[in-house]
Amino acid sequence: MRWQKSKGESQPETLKRRHALLGAGLAGIVAIALVAWLLVDDNESTDSSASAEARIVSAKELREAVSTQSEPVYWAGASAGSKLEFSQPSPDRTYVRYLTGDAEAGDPQPFLTVGSYRFADPTGTLRSRGGEPSGVLASAPGGGVVYFDRADPKSVYLAYPGTEVEIEVFAPEFKEALQLVTDGRIVPVE
């Protein structure tokens, strides 16, 4: 398509008009694409996604949030100087993070995190993984089975006989996670 100038328009005015029309057209396309993306994203979400959103909670609110769970959810107890972040991306996965400083819910920085995963035979699985070449097995108070990978120690895993929950404890400093687990400080939220 060739642009033709109207009678009385100079060449610079014609170019300005063309650029304005192109800019408006591109802005419209971007707006339509954004609205379409938001609609598709909204349609793909489910009722469980509302609980997946990380939020700051008090200890009391955390207890209320997990009170209807069929299996226990674990944490490291309340901690002065940190805020509790709760998220549940699915009914089988629950996370409690301990945010420090000015961090807000959803902060991408690594913080102490206790994940509770509904899992069939978690103690047997951890014992099996402990038999791998870099696997380390230990015990925690209360008969807990503890596992971590010596070659890549990022998290400590814990499970108790009689529950179908595997617990993952991550801390920016691995030794902190291991200490919390072996000291028996990872407990059900009650």
- Domain boundary assignment for the chain: 9-44, 50-188
* 153, pLDDT greater than 80: yes
Looking at residue 16, what is its pLDDT?
56
Ranking 4-8, 50-54, 96-100 by mean pLDDT, the lowest is 4-8
Q: What is the 3-state secondary structure (H, E, C) of the chain?
A: CCCCCCCCCCHHHHHHHHHHHHHHHHHHHHHHHHHHHHHHHHHHCCHHHHHHCCEEECHHHHHHHHCCCCCCCEECCCCCCEEEEEEEEECCEEEEEEEECCCCCCCCCCCEEEEEEECCCHHHHHHHHHCCCCEEEEEECCCEEEEEECCCCCEEEEECCCCCEEEEEECCCHHHHHHHHHCCCCEECC
For the stretch 81-104, what's the b/e string if a residue is b when 16 or more beta carbons lie within 10 angstroms of its beta carbon?
ebbbbbbbeeeeebbbbbbeeebe
Looking at residue 8, what is its pLDDT?
57
* Average pLDDT estimate for 1-29: 48
Read off the pLDDT of residues 52-63 as tens digits, 9 standing for 90 and up.
Answer: 799 999 999 999
Ranking 17-21, 46-50, 125-129 by mean pLDDT, the lowest is 46-50
* 130, pLDDT greater than 90: yes
Q: What pLDDT band is residue 119 in, cutting at 50, 70 and 90? A: very high
What is the chain's length? 190
